[in-house]
Chains A and B, each alone.
Chain A
Amino acid sequence: MQIANANRLTPYLFLAPAAVIMAVALLYPIGYMIYASFLDWNPSQRIGEAEFVGLRNYIGLLNDAAFLESFWVTIKFAAVVVTIEMVLGVGLALLLDRNIRGMSALRTLFILPMMIAPIVVGLMWRYMYHPSVGIFNKTLKSLGFDPIPWLSDGNWAFASVVIADVWQWTPFIFILSLAALQSLPQSAMEAARIDGATGWQQIVYIKLPLMMPVLIVTLLLRLIDAFKVLEVILVLTNGGPGLSTEILSLRISRTASEFRELGEAAAMSNYLLILLVILTFAMFAYNKAVEARTARLRKAAEEDL
C-alpha cells in the first residue's frame, strides 16, 4: 500500500524542480507585473510605497492618443511585415524546392539573415539607409535620381523598418515552408501530374492546401514575434519621426525609463500580453480542432469496416 503510494508520487517528485523553476522564473515576474499595473509607481519608490489605483492605468491608456497610435502602428507593422514575409517566403520555397547542384549551399545562404543578432541588423541597415553616405542614396544619386529620406520622413521610415524586418525574417518562413513542401506526399504530386495539372495548378490545388497547417502555425509564430519587435526599430528610428514607427514595445520601454511610469508600462505590457495570449490560444485551438477532427474521422472510418 505504502509502496503503491510512493510509486504514484514518483512522477511528481521528478517534476518538482521544473515546477519550482517555472514558478520562480515565469509566474513570479508575471504576477509582479500584473500587480504593478494596478499601481501608480515611480521607479524611485519601493513597490510597497506605490499607491494602489485599481484600473486607472488601463482606463487611462484607452484614452491616451499616443498609446493608441502605438497600438495601431504595431498592428499595422505586424500585418504588413507578416503578409510580405509569407508571400516571399512561401514563394521562394516553391521556387527552390528542387534538386539543383549547390542548392543546399544556397539554402544556407538564404537563412543567414535570421542568424544575425537583431541589434546588428539594425545598425547594418542604419548605415545603408544613411541619407548621404548610405549605399541606397549613393546608388540613387549616381544613377541620377533624387535621394530618399529613408529614416527622416514618417512614411518612408515605416517602409524602411518593414524592409529591414522582411529582410531578416523572410528566411524563417522560407525554411519552414521548404520543410513543409519536402514532407508532402510525393505520390500525390505525381498523381496530380498524371491527372493533368500544370505546375501552377499543382501549387494552387495540391501544394498550398497541403502546406496549410504548417503555414498557419508559421503565420501565428511570426505574428507573435512581430508584435514584440524592438531592437531593429530602436536602432533604426527609435520610434520616430514623430510616432510613425513607435511600436508598442518601444513605447513600453520609454514609458518605464523616460516617463518613469512603471505602473502604466506594466498595464501596456499586459495589453500586449493579452493580445499575444489570444493569438497563441487561437493557434492551439486551431491545432486541437484539426487533431480532434482527424481523430474523430479516423475512428468513424475504422468503425465503418
Chain B
Amino acid sequence: MPDKFKFAFMPSASCGGCEIAIVDIDEVILKVAELADIVYWPTALDFKDHHLEALPDGSITVGFFNGAVRNDHDVHHAKLLRQKSAFVVAFGACAQMGGIPSLGNFWTTEELAHRMYDTVPSVNNPEGTRPQLKYDAPEGELTLPRAMDRAYALDQVIDVDYYLPGCPPQVKWIVAAVEAVASGELPPKGTVIAGTKAVCDECPRERSEEKQVTEFKRIHLVENDPEKCLLEQGIMCCGPATRDGCEAACVTAGQACRGCFGPTDNVNDMGAKLASAIASITVADAQEEADRILGHLDDPAGYFYRFGLAKSMLGVQRGEFKPEAE
C-alpha cells in the first residue's frame, strides 16, 4: 500500500450543501480518514490559499470542486486545484453544469447588480452604492473578487476528470467514488458517477403511455395521486430527461423531479428534451389549444435549465430579445 491518498475539497459559488453532503456520509467518513489525508478543506478547517499553493503540483490524489465558477477568484481556485491534483471531480450540480448560480445567466452581470443593489424591495440604497473591487482601509488595501460576465460550469474553465451529480450529491455515489479511488478501478475519464438511464426508469409511479394532459398545474396547488405519473397529472416533472441514480427520491416523496442530476448520456439539451416530452403527452389538435395548455408553464427555460443553464446548448443570454413577462 502506498502512502495515504490526499483529498482536497474546494468550495466556490455554491450554497454549502455539497459540503454538508460530505459530512453526511456518516461513519464512512472514518473510512475516508483511514484512507486519505484531507489536505485542504477551508469550509471545515482553517485552510488558506497559501496552504494549497505550497503543495507540490499533482500531489493531491483527488480534488473535489463544488460550486459554479462565478468570479475571477473562483477561476484562480479552479486552476490552482487542477494544478495540484491528479484527478479533479466536479462535485455537485453547480460544478457539473453551472447549477442554480448559472440561472443568473438569463441576465447580464450589470442587470443582476442593478436588481441586487437597487430594486430588491428590502434594499434601501438611494445613492446607488456598489461594492468596490478595491478599498483603501487604514489597515491597508482591501480587495474583492470581480464577478465575471456569467457563471460557468467547472469544465468550461479547467479540465475535469469525473462528475458527481446532484444537488447535493448522494451519499451512495460519494461512497462509490471514494471506493473507486481506493480500489484503483477508475472508470473512463469524463464519467458521470451515477446511473445511466432516466429518472423515469427508477420511478415507481405508473404511466399510462397515453396523451392526456389538457392543463398544467403547479404542484403545490393540487393534490397529486401518489400512484400515478406526475407529468400525466399535468405537473411539470423533469424525470424524462434527467439522469437516474437518485432512486427517484423527490418523486417518491411526492415532489416533482427538478433535474439536479443533469441530462442522461442520450440527452444533449435538457430544455429541448423536456419540451419534446411535454409535447408528447399534451392533447391539442390546434396551435391555439397547445398555446393555451403550455401557457400554464410560466418559466419553462428556468424550470428546464434549473441546474444546467451554463451547459445548455444556447448557454448564454444573447440580449437580442426580451420576453414580455419581464
The answer to whether A binds B is: no
